[in-house]
Structure 1
Amino acid sequence: AIDQFKAHYRSADALLIDDIQFFAKKERSQEEFFYTFNSLLEGQRQIILTCDRFPKEVENLDERLQSRLGWGLTIAIEPPELETRVAILIKKAQQNLITLPDDVAFFIAKRIKSNVRDLEGALQRVMAFSRFTNQPLSIDMAQDALKDLLALHQKLVTLESIQKTVAEYFKIRVSDLLAKKRTRSVARPRQIAMALAKELTSHSLPEIGEAFGGRDHTTVLHACRKVVELKETDSRIAEDYRNLLRTLSS
């Protein structure tokens, strides 16, 4: 089986692997991938990998593998633009033998901006609501089907209001969030504010970074991923984030 694996993947013209963070703690898989990576690299083959964080941030990932992954071009994948979201919705509906009106597709796409999974989930909810209530697909029907999901998105939240709310919550100044200070008492609130900005506004990562003292979009991406990680491991951070989210959404 191992020989077949080697023959199959090491002879490929290109290798695409999603979510390589799941290699963590799997030493045998990491070792085999390491040698497969080297073999493909020597053969000048293309390798495309995705991860929910930067390779060096993945715990229990072999240092040699982290080093190899750092050789290539690392880019952030941002949520799809409006037109792409609309196209995804229409195509997904077609796969379910449903004709989704353009105005309904735009209504959903303008309000669900986080990721494709959430977008498709919203569409499934709308289609199910249409079937169960025997109503044709329309904006009014979609709004009714998604009313609880859209409640959070309907409030206009600005970057300035997020910065002010976060600063007051953590008892620091807004200027601290914009400064270059890296002390934890300031850095952590700044990361939380950036994550809230990504979740509650339609601003792009570069725009958020610019609003937080002219920071790079990769800094914003790192902050968002760090907050996601901390919410799962630190109950205090999770509570702080929920409190701020509730305040900004009320």
Structure 2
Amino acid sequence: MINICLCDDDLNYLNYYSTKINELADIYHIPIMMETYTSGESLTFELEDNPNRIDIVIIDIIMKKLNGIEAGQLLRKFGYTGIIIFLTSSKEYALDSFSVEPFNYLIKDLRDEEQLKGTFLRAMMEVEKKRKKSIMISSKQTNKLIKLDNILYIESIGKKVILYNLSGEKEELNTTLNSLAEKINEYGFIRCHKSYIVNTTYISSFNKSECSLKQGITIPIGRKYSSTFKENYLKNELDHILL
């Protein structure tokens, strides 16, 4: 099941896109669950505690009080890592929405069904790809499936490896940082220190000695890794764009 939120304060557009998206889901046999909201305030209030229960947010940019870009920024602040698609009457807001990292824009006035279909199908593929972003960690005691999207960074303390996620929770694994690094390197994780691995999705800035994550956490960059960190980060970003 793919969970979608649709938010627009114009009921005509809300009904139009709700109907068309459900029609596309039926045509392509994609199970979806849709929630609709008529304000950015109601959407962000509902998702504040658990934003990642939703896979795709489709939201109008121009709304009263809290507009779509502001709502998107709040969702990212809450830790939302899913897809955001903006509904807009003009692409003039594209630069303003950069911080939200939108997946695409749908031009409302055109009601372009081909554009909607293409965006919908690409978004479905992206959701499925994200859901496969997990690894199995095996030990003598147990096998554990680890979902990687919500992991901020990983730390090695003694003989334990600790995963820190977006909600501030942590999980201990019986493995080594070296073996884990090999498994998750292809998913956008970079070794920055003998004791740390960071998720590039959440990097806001870095210099030669430390890396700042979007959640206000600072991770040290070891001298051994300093020269390759920038190279690996840029390579990962380029690979992501090309995909």
Interval containing the TM-score (normalised by the shorter chain): under 0.3
State the TM-score, normalizing by the size of structure 2. 0.26
Structure whose residues are more often strand by fraction? 2
Structure whose residues are more often helix by fraction? 1
Q: Higher Cα Rg: structure 1 or 2?
A: 1
User: Which one scores higher on RCO, CA 8 angstroms, separation ≥ 6?
Assistant: 1
